Amino acid sequence: MTMSKLYSRAYTQNKYLSMSPGQIILALYDGVLSSLEQAVYAMDEGDIAKQGEGIQKALRILTELQASLKTQNEDDISTSLFLLYDYVSRQLVYANLHDDRDTLMYCGSLIQEVRDGWAEMLKTQTTQLSPEDSESNGYL
């Protein structure tokens, strides 16, 4: 591994270590969206390998998001998110097998909606916390 790759990896690791858990989730949503964008572009270009890479990366991130959920109650938001991630994952596999651009775009729109809601929730939490609270909770 080259020195520049080592530095890049160290930078990325430090970047995530300085984030709050909420910010990490936001970064994961952004990763899914970026991967889906790559897959759509590759599909448009006829690059099957890159299309598969983008979809596989999105699937890996969705698996991490699912694993991070605490599904204690059947009625809570964690269960709803778990089911959404499962649905999107199955749709991504379908889209990859059938070269279905519309399904990829639809999956991206679902994740974008959740991502935007998450970002708004983080912003609201940050503005409602006092400086002492935000330091102890890691929201700023």
Mean pLDDT, consecutive 10-residue stretches, the chain (140 aa), reads 62 65 95 98 97 98 93 76 97 97 98 97 80 48
Q: d(Cα 4, Cα 14) in Å, to the nearest integer?
A: 15
Contacts of range 55-61, beta carbons closer than 8 Å, 24 or more positions apart: 55/92, 55/93, 55/95, 55/96, 55/104, 57/31, 58/31, 58/32, 58/92, 58/107, 59/89, 59/92, 59/93, 61/28, 61/31, 61/32, 61/35
Task: Using the CB atoms, write b or e for 61-79: b if 16+ within 10 Å.
Answer: bbeebbeeeeeeeeeeebe
**Position 68 in a domain:** yes
Which pLDDT value is given to residue 116?
98
**Position 133 in a domain:** no
CB 52 within 8 A of CB 97: no
Which pLDDT value is given to residue 140?
36
Which pLDDT value is given to residue 9?
58
Which pLDDT value is given to residue 139?
40
Q: d(Cα 26, Cα 47) in Å, to the nearest integer?
A: 28
Q: d(Cα 83, Cα 69) in Å, to the nearest integer?
A: 11
Domain harbouring 72, CATH code: 1.20.120.340
**Position 27 in a domain:** yes
Which pLDDT value is given to residue 136?
47
The number of folded domains in the chain is: 1
**Position 8 in a domain:** no
**Position 138 in a domain:** no
Which pLDDT value is given to residue 16?
57
**Position 14 in a domain:** no
